[in-house]
Amino acid sequence: MKLKPVALALALSGISLHAVAANDEHTYANLDEVVSTHLYLDLDVDFDDKQLEGFVEHTLDWQDANARTLVLDTRDLEIDRVIYQGKSGKWREAKFDLAPRDDVKGAKLTIKFNQQAPKVRIYYNSLPQASGLQWLTPEQTASKTQPFMYSQSQAIHARSWIPVQDTPAMRVTYNARIETPKNVRAVMSADNTGAFIKDGDYFFDMPQAIPPYLIAIGAGNLEYKEMSHQTAIFAEPQILDASVAEFNDTQAMIDKTNAMYGEYAWGRYDLLMLPPSFPFGGMENPRLSFITPTVVAGDKSLVNLIAHELAHSWSGNLVTNATWEDLWLNEGFTSYVENRIMEEVFGRDRAVMEQSLDAAGLRAQLKTIDAPDTRLNLKLNGRDPDDAFSSVPYTKGQLFLIYLEEKYGRDVFDEFVKGYFKEYSFKSLTTAQFVTYLQANLIDKHPGVVSMDKVNEWIFEPGLPADAPNPTSDAFEKVDTLTATWLKGDITAAELPTANWTVHEWLHFINNLPRDLGNDKMVELDTQFNLTASTNKEVAFAWFMLGVGNGYDAIYPALDKHLTGIGRRKLIVPLYKSLITNGKRDWAYEVYQGARAGYHPLAQGTIDALFN
C-alpha cells in the first residue's frame, strides 16, 4: 500500500501510524518506545461501590527494539495485578510500579517485561472520586428508578477509569464487554447494536482508531428511539420523545455536511441524553454524542449544539489536535463547521445571529483573561487543560477561519477545508503542522491574499487582530434601536414588538442591557415578559446574570432552582462568580452546599476554587 506523505514520514521516523510525534506535557506515555493500538475492556459497573472493576488488555506495537517498558497514565486507580502474553502465547506476571499521584497528571504506571510482549492485561478498579466518572443515585435522575453513571474523558480524564496512554497524539481501536444490573442499559462511543437488548451484558466494538479522550461509557434507565436511518436517541423515558422532536433535523445536518466536507466516516450518529448534571453542553464521543438536556427548549432554538457535536465528526474526531495546547484545531474548526451547518439547514440570518452572539461573548471574555491565554496556540505550562478552558479556541478560532473564507472566497476555502480533512483523516497534528499545511495548500497557492505574518498574528499573538471579522445582524441592529428607545422612556416594555423575536434576539437584548439598569426597569421587563420563570435555560441564564448585576432580588427563588437543577458549567459557573462579586457570597455558598453532590467532579472542582 502506498503511503501518503505524512504517513510515509511517520513510518520512516519509526513512529507508529497510531501515534504522532508531539510534545504532550500531560502524559507519562513513552510513545517513542511502544504504542497501544487496541484495547479490550472487560468491566463491571458497580453502582453500590461507585466503581468500574475488571481489566483492560492492550495490544502493543513496539517502536524500539531494545525497549522492555510500558508507561501508562492513571489517576485514582487501584491496580490489582498485571500480566502479559509472551511470544509463546502463555501469560506471565509482570512487574509494575505505581508512582505517587501528581495533582495534574495523576500517577505514572510503569510496567516492565522480560521480553517485548504483544499484549498486556491490567486488572484494576476505579475509585468513587474518579474525575472522569459521575455516579448518580436514582433520586438524582429523571426516572427516579435506576442509578446512572457516565464518563467525561476530555481532556485528561480517561486515565481516571482506564490505565491508558492518555494523549490525543495516539489513536486506538477498542472492544468492550460491560456488565451492569439487568435493568440498566449500557452504551459506549462505539457500535451500540449490542445495547439494543437490555440484559445487563453488553458488547461493543469501535473499529476506527480514536484518541483515548473519546472513549466513553454511560449506563442508566435508557430507552432507544430512531429519528432516521442513521440517527437515534438514547434517553430516560421522561425526556425521550421531547428529545426526538427537538433533534429530528440531525439527519439533514449530516447530509448537508457530507456535501460540504466529505462523507461522514463513522456509520451511525446517535445521541445520548444525559442527566442535567452533565457539566458541558455536549461531548463529541464518536458514534454517540453526549448531550445536556438543557438544550431541549421545545422550539429547536438551541440545536446549534447538535450541529457543533456533529461537526466534531470531521474536526476533532477525524482530525485531532495532537496536544491540548493545540485545542483550537479541534474547536475553532468545529465552531466554523457548526455555523456552516446551521446556515445550510436553518438559513443565513440565524447563522449570522449566532456568529454575532459568540463574537460578542468572546470580546467580553477577552477582557477577563490573561493575555497569554488569548492566543490560539496556547501555552499551558503544566496547568490542567481544564483550567485554561475559555471561548478563545472556539470563537477566536472560528473568526480566524471566517477571516480566511472572506479573503479567499467560500469556494476556494471550502476546497481547502475539505482537503485538510481528507489529508489528516484519522490522524493527530500539531499547530506547527497545520501552519505548514496551510501555507502550502492555501497561502502559497493564492499569493498576495493573506501573508504568513497575518497567519502568525492570528495563531501566536494574544487578542484579536484589528481587522478581525465582527459579525453583525440586521435583526440585532433593530433590537438595539428598540432597546435605546425603551431605555430613554419613549416606549414601554409592552410596546416592544417581541412577539416574533427569536431566542437569539432575546439573548442579544438581555446581554446588552446596562448592568445598572435599575429596579423599576427590571420589574417592568419581568412583569411584561415573565423572564424570571423562563423555561429556556440560555434565556434564564442571561436574565439571572442581569438580575444579579442589578441587585434584582425577585430572581433568587428561581435562581436557586436553576443552580440546583443543572450542572452545565457554562450556565452555572459565571453565576457563582457574579454572586460572589456582587455581595451574595454567603447565599451562593449555601445554595452550592445543597447542589454540590449533584454536580459532576469537573464542576465541583471549578466552583470549589471560586469559594476557596
Beta pairing class for 319-321 and 427-429 = parallel
The residues, any chain, with a CB within 8 Å of residue 246's CB and separated by 6 or more, are: 295, 296, 297, 298, 300, 303
Which residues lie below 8 Å from residue 92, measured CB to CB, with a gap of 6+?
83, 84, 85, 86, 114
Q: Is the dihedral of CA 25, 28, 33, 36 positive or negative?
A: negative
* Catalytic position from the list 394, 420, 552, 599: 394
Q: Which residue has the cell 445582524?
A: 473
Neighbour-count burial for 511-529, b at 16+ CB within 10 Å, e otherwise: eebeeebeeebbebbbeeb
The DSSP code for 84 is: E
State how far the Cα of 512 lies from the Cα of 493, in Å rounded to an integer. 16
Which among 500, 460, 470, 481 is positioned nearest to 358, based on CA atoms? 470
Q: Is 405 a catalytic residue?
A: no
| Cell output for 524 | 417592568
Per the residue annotation, which of 57, 179, 236, 309 is the catalytic one?
A: 309
Angle, vertex CA 419, rays to CA 324 and CA 154, nearest 5:
20
226 assigned to active site? no
Residue tagged 502465547 (cell numbers):
89
Tell me if the bond preceding 155 is cis, omega within 30° of 0.
yes
The Cα 183–Cα 266 span in angstroms is: 29
Q: How far is CA 347 from CA 342, 404, 539, in A?
A: 7, 21, 22
Give the span between the Cα atoms of 372 and 361, in whole angstroms. Answer: 18
Among 384, 461, 444, 358, smallest CA distance to 408 is for: 444
Beta bridge partners of 60: 36
DSSP class per residue in 320-355:
EESSGGGHHHHHHHHHHHHHHHHHHHH-HHHHHHHH
Q: What is the Cα–Cα distance from 319 to 155, expressed in whole angstroms?
A: 16
User: Quick one: residue 592, left, alpha or beta (phi over 0 = left, psi -120 to 50 = alpha)?
Assistant: alpha
575's grid cell: 453565576
- Count of Cβ atoms closer than 10 Å to residue 327 Cβ: 26
Which residues are tagged catalytic? Answer: 309, 394
